[in-house]
Amino acid sequence: MAEQAASEPTAEITTEFTEIEMRCVPCNASWSAPVVRRVNVATHPDARLGILLKTMHRTACPLCKTPREIDTIFDYYDPERKLVVQVRPAWEIRAGGGEDWYWARYEDLVLKYANYDVRVDVVFGFDEMIEKYLGGQEAVEAAQREWKARREKAGGAHSPEGPGIDEVRDA
Q: Rounded to the nearest whole angstrom, what is the least distance from the CB of residue 19 to Zn ion in the complex?
A: 18
Residue 23 Cβ vs Zn ion, minimum distance, rounded to whole Å: 9
C-beta closer to Zn ion: residue 63 or 149: 63
Residue closer to Zn ion by CB (options 61, 122) is 61
Taking the least distance from each CB to Zn ion, the nearer of 24 and 140 is: 24
The answer to the question of residue 64 lying near Zn ion (CB under 5 A) is: yes
Q: Is 111 among the residues that bind Zn ion (CB under 5 A)? A: no
- For residue 55, with 0-12 CB atoms within 10 Å meaning exposed, 13-18 middle and 19 or more buried, which class applies? buried
Rounded Cα gap, residues 64 and 67, in angstroms: 9
User: What residues between 43 and 62 interact with Zn ion by CB under 5 A?
Assistant: 61
Q: Around Cβ 158, how many Cβ atoms within 10 Å? A: 19
Q: State the minimum distance, in angstroms, from the CB of residue 65 to Zn ion.
A: 7
Shorter beta-carbon distance to Zn ion: residue 61 or 165: 61
Q: Please tell me the total number of residues recorded for the chain in this structure.
A: 171
Report the alpha-carbon angle 56-60-63, nearest 5: 165
Paired with 18 in beta bridges are 35
Task: Verify binding: residue 63, Zn ion, rule CB under 5 A.
Answer: yes
The residues in 1-40 that bind Zn ion, with binding defined as CB under 5 A, are 24, 27, 29
Q: What is the dihedral of CA 35, 36, 41, 43, to 10 degrees?
A: -90
For residue 59, the one-letter residue type is T
Report the interface residues with Zn ion, using CB under 5 A: 24, 27, 29, 61, 63-64, 66
